[in-house]
Every structure is written in C-alpha cells, then in structure tokens.
C-alpha cells in the first residue's frame, strides 16, 4: 500500500525570501538530533533552497562567512569556502564549503564555538567543553587544552557539572561571558537548577554577572549590548552586567538556542522539546506557550532588535525537532558544502 509523502521539511514565512535577498545573506544551522549541518539560501526563481550535509553530533557553529567551525561528536571541523569571488559551481552555488581540518577532540559535548585573539593553537578557536565544564582549545596532538573554568568548578572531570554552554567574545577577541545552567560542582548537578538557577559569568573576574536565569544559552556582544537567550522561559533580551538584570525583548515560540546577528536583525534557533525528556520538564516555557495558544516550533526566527518584532521565520514540520546553533553567512545566496564522507558509488 502506498504511503503519502510527509511533504517538504521546511516552510518559510511569506517575507523570508525577500529578507534573505534584501539583506544579501544565507543562514546555516546545526541539528545534533539528525546529525546535519543545514544551509538555507535562495534557489531558482528566488525560492527557498535548503542544502544539508552529515556531521555526526554537530552542535556549536561559528562562521565569518568564509570559514565554518563545527563541533561534532568527537571532532572539531573546519570548512573553508573554496570558490573565487564571483564564481559558481555547476549546481549554481556561490559558496562551496570544503572540509579542511578535522581535529580529534574526543567526546566533549562541544557547545558554543568562537574565534578571536590567540587563545588556541588553531587560528584562535575556542569552544565550550561542556562535558569538562570549561573553555578549551583543540590540542594539535589530539584532545583539548583547558583555558578557563568557573571558580566554583573544583576539578576538570568528564561529569557535565554545571552545563556550561554559551560563550560571548569581547571586542578584544577574548572570551568575555559564559552561561551555565546551574552553579553545581557535582556530576550533572545542573539539572536541579533548570527553572531559575542559571547564571551568566564574567570570564575575566569569575564573578556571576546575572543570576536567576532559566537554562540560559547563546550570550553575544553586539553593538555595545550583551544579549542572551533565557531558554527556559522562551525570552530573548539583554543583560546589564552592572545591575545584574536580564531585560526581555520578546518571546520566542520554542526552546531557543543559537543566536547570530546581521545588523539590526537577530536570527534565533528554536527547538520542540521532546516528550519525556527531563531536561525540558517543568520549565515556564511550556506554560507560556499554552497561555498564548501555541505549540513549540523547530526552526528559526528573525527578530528586529529595534522593535522586538518577530519579522520572519522558518519552521521544520517533520524529521527535525531540535536545533542547537545558527550562523549568518553574509554575501551568500546559495551556499553548499562538500560532505565529510564520499557519496555512495
């Protein structure tokens, strides 16, 4: 008996294609659930076009438009665009990201990734080593080199004690702020703090810059302001470190992780919390969605940071329920990538 097709995975809001064309950018995002790195751009006739490649366990993602760093299951991967300016592939791609390095790190549960001053051995790349509760850089011989850990973490153990996850780089190109789900120094102790025990930490001083957060993710410094996602309540907003206060700008209809900026626009990744997953149980996000008569979405939204309006969005209707990170690719219209493994003959 024939079965009906579930239809396209992605569906964009009516103005998304015009936004991509007008802003001259594309969007990349990771889903560790499906082990995929996705690129969303424009295809023939200005229609949305999604391109995907398999990257096992991919979470953290960083890009300057020409280089991509992707955190995988046991490697940190670097992809570089190999097309000369103005060139296109036979398929019409104007960016072709090719794997250039696969640095073996071991299973570290790599979350946020950033590139800045000489903080690492490979091009200044630094990442959140969630399993060992620290910031780290790849060791050229394999594994990692610890760079910093929260003062309340007494020892580096593969125990995911505080669920360190987010990283904001300062104007000097060095780590400035990190987020953690809880101030815990025991194995997976952060799970007791999901509702309101999240913290934003100042890396230089080691002091907590903002407390009382709910599963915070993706801190970013942009245009002189410190932004983050208060994921457990579904809020996107700013933090005044001097006052230690989070100021929501808007509500996002899903579990928000992954934040990238393009001028006044913020691109925010959304996930549908999986039923029965204790990580998401008991969060205010569920009650707030119910109050608004909404179901959680998977995809991303484009927020106008000047007004707090959710101007555009992309929704995954099936196959994918969770995203981790997003990146904006300025100047790209139709990006593609070469996979980590050869296609079948």
Domain CATH number, residue 181: 2.120.10.30
Instruction: Tell me the pTM.
Output: 0.94
pLDDT of amino acid 271: 96
Average pLDDT over residues 190-201: 97
Closest-CA residue to 33 (of 61, 10, 57): 57
86 pLDDT exceeds 50? yes
- Residue 300 inside a domain? The answer is yes
Distance separating alpha carbons of residues 101 and 78, to the nearest angstrom: 5
- pLDDT > 80? residue 67: yes
Sequence-ordered list of residues with C-beta below 8 angstroms from that of 72, at least 6 positions apart, any chain:
55, 56, 57, 58, 110
Sheet of 48-54: strand order equals 48-54, 36-42, 25-31, 326-330
- Across 112-134, average pLDDT: 85
**2 part of a folded domain:** no
What is residue 120's predicted lDDT score, i.e. its pLDDT? 54
* Model confidence pLDDT, tens digit, residues 146-183: 999 999 999 999 999 999 999 999 999 999 999 999 99
Q: Does residue 127 fall inside a structural domain?
A: yes
Q: Is 239 domain-assigned?
A: yes
- Give the Cα separation of 195 and 182 in Å (integer): 10
| Listed residue (115, 16, 17) closest to 65, CA to CA | 115
The answer to whether residue 238 scores a pLDDT higher than 80 is yes
Q: What is the mean pLDDT of residues 104-119?
A: 90
Range of the domain at 313: 10-337
3-state DSSP assignment of residue 254? coil
For the cut 90, the answer to whether the pLDDT of residue 273 exceeds it is no
Candidates 167, 185, 179; CA nearest to 212 is 179
What secondary structure does DSSP assign to 290-339, as a single string?
Answer: HHTT-----EEEEEETTTTEEEEEEEE-SS------EEEEET-SSEEE--
Percent of the chain with pLDDT over 90: 88
- Domain count of the fold of the chain: 1
Q: Indicate if the pLDDT at residue 143 is higher than 60.
A: yes
Residue 1 included in any domain: no
Question: If you average pLDDT over residues 284-309, what whole number do you get?
Answer: 96
């Amino acid at each position: 008996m024939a079965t009906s097709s579930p239809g396209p995975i992605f569906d964009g809001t009516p103005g998304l294609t015009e936004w991509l064309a007008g802003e001259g950018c594309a969007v990349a995002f990771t889903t560790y659930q499906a082990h995929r790195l996705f690129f969303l751009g424009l295809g023939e006739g200005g229609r949305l076009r999604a391109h995907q490649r398999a990257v096992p366990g991919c979470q953290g993602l960083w890009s300057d438009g020409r280089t991509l760093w992707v955190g995988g299951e046991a490697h940190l991967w670097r992809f570089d665009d190999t097309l000369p300016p103005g060139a296109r592939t036979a398929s019409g791609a104007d960016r072709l990201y090719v794997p250039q390095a696969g640095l073996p790190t071991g299973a570290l549960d790599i979350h946020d990734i950033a590139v800045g001053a000489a903080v690492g051995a490979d091009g200044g790349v630094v990442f959140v080593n969630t399993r060992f509760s620290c910031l780290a850089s790849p060791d050229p011989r394999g594994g990692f080199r610890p760079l910093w850990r929260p003062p309340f973490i007494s020892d580096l153990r593969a125990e995911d004690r505080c669920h360190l996850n987010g990283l904001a780089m300062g104007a000097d190109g060095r780590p400035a702020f990190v987020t953690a789900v809880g101030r815990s120094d025991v194995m997976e102790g952060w799970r007791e703090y999901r509702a309101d025990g999240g913290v934003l930490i100042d890396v230089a001083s080691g002091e907590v810059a903002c407390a009382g957060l709910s599963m915070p993710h993706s801190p970013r410094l942009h245009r002189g302001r410190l932004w983050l996602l208060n994921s457990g309540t579904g809020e996107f907003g700013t933090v005044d470190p001097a006052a230690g206060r989070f100021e929501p700008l808007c509500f996002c209809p899903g579990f928000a992780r992954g934040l990238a900026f393009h001028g006044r626009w913020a691109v925010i990744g959304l996930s549908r919390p999986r039923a029965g997953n204790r990580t998401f149980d008991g969060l205010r996000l569920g009650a707030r969605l119910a109050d608004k008569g909404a179901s959680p979405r998977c995809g991303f939204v484009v927020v106008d940071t000047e007004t707090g309006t959710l101007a555009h969005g992309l929704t995954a209707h099936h196959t994918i329920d969770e995203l981790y990170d997003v990146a904006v690719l300025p100047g790209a219209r139709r990006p593609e990538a070469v996979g980590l493994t050869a296609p079948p003959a």
